[in-house]
Copies of this chain bind each other. A is one copy, B any other.
């Protein structure tokens, strides 16, 4: 079983709507705090299972909105779901991750069916231009950072060298990161793991200004197509920084150049004074 599938496994209670989960130590962003996209994918898996158990016939998460309330720690937790609507073309499921008595993550999912063979009927977002994967670079870690956050061991991200000057204190100022993405163990990216991919890059604001932790306040993801096998391309862009808040847009294309996911998030950011 691939690492991603093992780490996002959910075990249903007899009610079909509550799930035991184990937040995996291999998917943390700092100390023992799981990565936000990993948590979202885990909730998405529970939402799909809850839908199936209630007779919903949708196979994919097509939209997810999530609010991170408190940062859970590695270890056991519970996912509570609620089927809001079972529809013919789409169903809606609310899910929350609870650890102890505390709601850690609150999310809403729209379930639908995507046709792997389909193409856009109108509109196109041309894939981000990237140097060939072999000319792109893994994210360098600052001295003393050891191996970095554990979730980085699970992925093979190769960045356009022009976008990672921030690591040496030379952000480009354009507010954009670009990379190739694969899972380290060769697992293909599917619709569920796209919920993780859109949150697997450093903050796009790092390409503008060095700050501390940039917490996500609200994140929405639309999954637009079933990715073809192979690496995906990711572009992560900053919109506007205003009043200690920034919006960031992420887009993902598959190996055939089709847009497979879009996300937008509002983050908190503390600009250093002076």
Contacts and interface: CB of A to CB of B under 8 A. Distances in A.
B85 A69 contact: yes
Interface in A206-247: 208-209, 217-218, 220, 222, 224-225, 238-247
A110 B220 CA distance: 13
Given A84-B69, A84-B106, A243 B266 contact: no
A145 interface: no
A8 interface: no
Nearest to A173: B122
A65 interface: yes
A108 B108 contact: yes
Contact of A242 (B119, B239, B244, B268): B119
Contacts of A84: 67, 69, 103, 106
* Stoichiometry, copies per complex: 2
Nearest to A114: B243
Contacts of A65: 65, 67, 108, 218, 220
A123 B122 CA distance: 29
B103 A106 contact: no
Interface stretch (A22-30, A89-97, A153-161): A89-97
Interface of A: 62-65, 67, 69-70, 84-85, 89-90, 92, 94, 103, 106, 108, 110, 112, 114-115, 118-125, 175, 208-209, 217-218, 220, 222, 224-225, 238-247, 259, 262, 264, 266, 268, 271
